[in-house]
Structure 1
């Protein structure tokens, strides 16, 4: 299963294993079991500290446990963790084998101190780029605390189980048999849900920070570029981000990033974070901004109030909070979110294998989603509000070549129908006014983005669409406050454009700071 190059890379990682590890496999006579057995045997051959053990002690087949020899420390995978989950497999081998985690020490200690028996089950799909974050976090917790266990389950391989639990989105996590959460979660978020005092401790830690020269709110490509450009000027820079990487984390394939023919969102986000850290930037992840308090006078300190109650101060602010998926805003959409209504075809598409789904939106994102889904599901209905598709011609030609896709134009979706989960949708023909119903089991919404600026209303100038108004230098209507990326009025929401705008905003912030009178800088620092 593993090619020569991948075996060479994996062998280099496995030298870091300190403790003997057993791969305890529960296998049947089916093709997937044979495939898993081949994979595990190849891994065992790469390290003298890894042994393959065959057993039938698990209800899920094929599955395997990575167990520290002579102990109960380990994690379990139900399925074959390739694709995006191959990294989760490698990390599990290392961590069960005694290689230390890079997680923050205070978080590690909190995990070790969690009380009670906690059994986690995570449903993932191999094409989901957000699933590995959850799988890896829970695997680490199971290694650190003997009262925590975790099994990661490939939803596409265990369809009966998925259908019984009505899992229609990944990652979906169960704790002790009850739904714990759905969607991307990081280790700190999971710990905060389990430890009631975690958020208060994090807020106290943030509130104690000294004022920054530059505080960047948002950790996408624009925020990362701003951080690098300002930090390289010798400034004290911080990033407060709800999730570092932003929308890039939800992007599967990137083929128009200049000089890089192909990459994937999570990989690019990790590279951005690494580059930012190399420049000494203080990254404060999982922090949502709720209020901006402008400086009382030019040259004073601005203040950003976070959702946990902490406040951060800085002489200059760069806003790069990006955008999120636009919702249809029709009855039933919120009610059936993650119960058939989805926004990520790459993540959730495999859960709808053989079923009938709709894609809402005829731009590039919508048509690409329809093309991807057509290879998985039984039938795709693409619904577009306009009287023609807006996607690039090459995508439209590909779409037209698919036999299991129907395109409906001049259609307005008016309602999501369901009973516990999605059963269909209602749309209005904009030409005749007639209403029609379509029987469906999934709806993928791809109708563009909305800027994350609700928390800024009344504070600085926003456009009618809610975007932050900026000039050519990234300046906003507030002195000392700059903005960049998809959250602004800059046209064309592209990664490369956001990076350039982030660099511009960073250089503008630096220019603003060096032109402040010395006495104002000293006063601001003391504020």
Structure 2
């Protein structure tokens, strides 16, 4: 199922596993079940921390595989064969279930751990969808951190009956406890703000307590990143407030007009921009949208959508642009795979 190059890479990654991981597989007589079974045994052959067992749940979707921790009693399910864009989601689920620390922000992890209500997320995806892994991985992080939370990735191509029954027209489509929760791109912070109203209020209060910035940049695209770097290099107290870092560039598959770089991809360029900004003492406030701007006695005040207020002596507005969208089924799913904007 996995070639030797991938196996060698995974074996190196799995050396960081500190806790046992069980792969509970539920199969039928389909070819996809055979693929999933082979994948599970390939993964188990790469670490003595991973074992494969039959899933005793007779109502489980088939084929499916549960990444289970018997120590923490956490469950992350993949209904279908998580290859393509979702293979990374599977690898991260194994690592986080096996004790490898998540790269999520410490305050997000703390907020996840504080959730006490049962949350059962179902995420309908397509293996060709570029947006889906972000949502799957965010929800998997929650499920690996808190035993009250369960996450199930569902390949819509294999479970067409469910897709038709729930009238799902585009992916990712998320259901929470059997009810529609969201559709389209969603970050971990977005999810937490939706399920934990008190957490959103705490976050707003924390942001409002920040001291006045010398320079506050509104927008996290290339222009905003550049402004923040120049400001921080001059020793100014600098902050960035952005809905998401990278902006529109993050969704651009191929970039061939960035000076000095002959060709790159949007996500790669965004990661490099973010890494560059973090080399300096810049306060980056993610997943925040500015709602109002007004002058204050000694500068400016920005009010965010969550009600928080940020103060700054000077502002750089780098809010960028957005593609014009038609909001038709499949537009998000096939962005970069037939749906283009630059023409």
Q: TM-score, normalised by structure 1?
A: 0.60
Aligned to 2:124: 123
Distance in 2 (CA, whole Å) between partners of 1:160 and 1:445 is 30
Aligned to 1:236: 237
Residues 74 and 166 of structure 1: CA distance in aligned 2, closer, same or farther (over 3 Å): same
Q: CA deviation at 1:121?
A: 0.2
3-state SS, counterpart of residue 278 of structure 1: coil
Equivalent position to 1:306, from 304, 307, 321? 304
C-alpha distance after superposition, 1:471-517 (max 9, x if no partner): xxxxxxxxxxxxxxxxxxxxxxxxxxxxxxxxxxxxxxxxxxxxxxx
3-state SS, counterpart of residue 321 of structure 1: coil
C-alpha distance after superposition, 1:325-379 (max 9, x if no partner): 3256xxxxxxxx5xx44543525xxxxxxxxxxxxxxxxxxxxx7xx44xxxxxx
Residues 293 and 264 of structure 1: CA distance in aligned 2, closer, same or farther (over 3 Å): same
Contact 2:72–2:147 at 8 Å: present in 1 too? no
Aligned to 2:19: 19
C-alpha distance after superposition, 1:274-329 (max 9, x if no partner): 32222221110111111222466xxx42222211222222232111111223256x
C-alpha distance after superposition, 1:102-139 (max 9, x if no partner): 33333323222223221110112223222222211211
Distance in 1 (CA, whole Å) between partners of 2:241 and 2:221 is 11
Residues 256 and 62 of structure 1: CA distance in aligned 2, closer, same or farther (over 3 Å): farther
Structure 1 runs (4+) deviating above 6 angstroms are none
Q: CA deviation at 1:78?
A: 1.0
- 2:92 maps to 1:91: yes
5+ long unaligned stretches in structure 1: 329-336, 348-368, 374-443, 449-527
Residues 267 and 162 of structure 1: CA distance in aligned 2, closer, same or farther (over 3 Å): farther
Larger Rg: 1
Aligned to 1:225: 226
Q: CA deviation at 1:204?
A: 1.0
Aligned to 1:202: 203
Distance in 2 (CA, whole Å) between partners of 1:288 and 1:211 is 18
Aligned to 2:37: 37
Distance in 2 (CA, whole Å) between partners of 1:89 and 1:255 is 31
Aligned to 1:496: none
3-state SS, counterpart of residue 291 of structure 1: strand
Aligned to 1:289: 290
Q: TM-score, normalised by structure 2?
A: 0.90
- 2:342 maps to 1:344: no
Q: CA deviation at 1:144?
A: 2.0
3-state SS, counterpart of residue 138 of structure 1: helix
3-state SS, counterpart of residue 47 of structure 2: coil
Distance in 2 (CA, whole Å) between partners of 1:345 and 1:103 is 25
- 2:96 maps to 1:108: no
User: How many pairs does the alignment contain?
Assistant: 342
C-alpha distance after superposition, 1:414-464 (max 9, x if no partner): xxxxxxxxxxxxxxxxxxxxxxxxxxxxxx79598xxxxxxxxxxxxxxxx
Equivalent position to 2:320, from 315, 319, 322? 322
> How much is the aligned-residue C-alpha RMSD, in angstroms?
2.5
Distance in 1 (CA, whole Å) between partners of 2:149 and 2:324 is 37
Aligned to 2:270: 269
Aligned to 2:2: 2
Aligned to 2:253: 252
Aligned to 2:181: 180
5+ long unaligned stretches in structure 2: none
